[in-house]
Structure 1
Amino acid sequence: MPTYLAFLRAINLGAKRVFPKDDIRRAVEDAGFDGVQTHINTGNVRFESRMRSTSRIEAALESAFAADRGFEVPTMVYTAREIASIAEDARALDAEHPDLARHYVYFVKNAPSAELTAQIEATATDAGEMVVRGRAVHALLGPGYQDGKVDPLRAAKLIEPTTSRNVTVVYALADKWC
């Protein structure tokens, strides 16, 4: 059975959007998915499904999460093969940019068009650059990029809905689940 990874957006960021990983696991299982596992408490889920359409899986999970929590939880779903490829791209980008202060990966529902890709990549400044690789957008941030800001280049608004993870989490997930 195919393995998928889901990335939940904007959970556990305050008192109103609480969704503990054990509850996430239960909601995914209740939605009919198998082999459910979570990684840390930031909305990273691994599961198996006979469904082949990531957009159908996203819709099923978003519906289950809304019913369980009472608020919308935008969810981006990828195959394990896609995540392995994203991690491989990230490692290559890290090797090409050895002086990075931070590297975030933004997960998006649909690959940006060529026009949108150009807009995203045009947000580059002295602080860093955005690199689009299919359904993953890499924020490559140099020293002094405004520590603590996840979107210092203000590119995330161009790719909504999205959720980001530090590249170390991406590597951990690829090593653990792919």
Structure 2
Amino acid sequence: MAATRDRALQAGVELLGTEGVRALTHARIDAHAALPPGSTSNWFRTRRALLAGVVDWMAERERADFAPAEVAAQPGPDALIEQICAGIELQTGPFAAHTRARYALFLELAPDPELGAPLRRQRLEFERLSERLVIAAGIADPRPAARALMALGDGLALHRLTVDPDLDVRPVIERAVRSLFAEP
């Protein structure tokens, strides 16, 4: 069985991803994780500490789930299209609650310099990973290409999470990636 702290953090992410930021309370987490009352507050005394713990835990999970080892060895648009589609499938399928939780935290914590900083650092790590994918694929100007593909991916993920869970993202991703290869 997972450690009490990890169970609490996992439950916090699940609550964030299914019920929103207001559902993130010590008592709700204890109940959701089937922990004795007060367990979560033993680890995180304040709501601010709880939010910081959830942000850090999510970043650790995302680094493990989307490890840089995923970078394809073969260059070209097909491998990049496959990787982006697979990433969106993961984020809107098995990791949908985590994705919703991340969006909720970004909206809630963006104005807070201290709590928003870990979210922005994690975003920069994803930008670096995306740049490596774009470089490996052979796109000439990787930074703007990676940012454009990330923005497109965010939009498609948000659309799948909120409007159309069955949206086929492949045609959109294919068109975007192929256009980046066609640029002079």
- Establish whether TM, by shorter chain, passes 0.5: no
Alignment TM class, shorter chain as reference: under 0.3
Larger radius of gyration: 2
Q: TM-score, normalised by structure 1?
A: 0.27
Higher strand share: 1
> TM-score with structure 2 length normalisation?
0.27
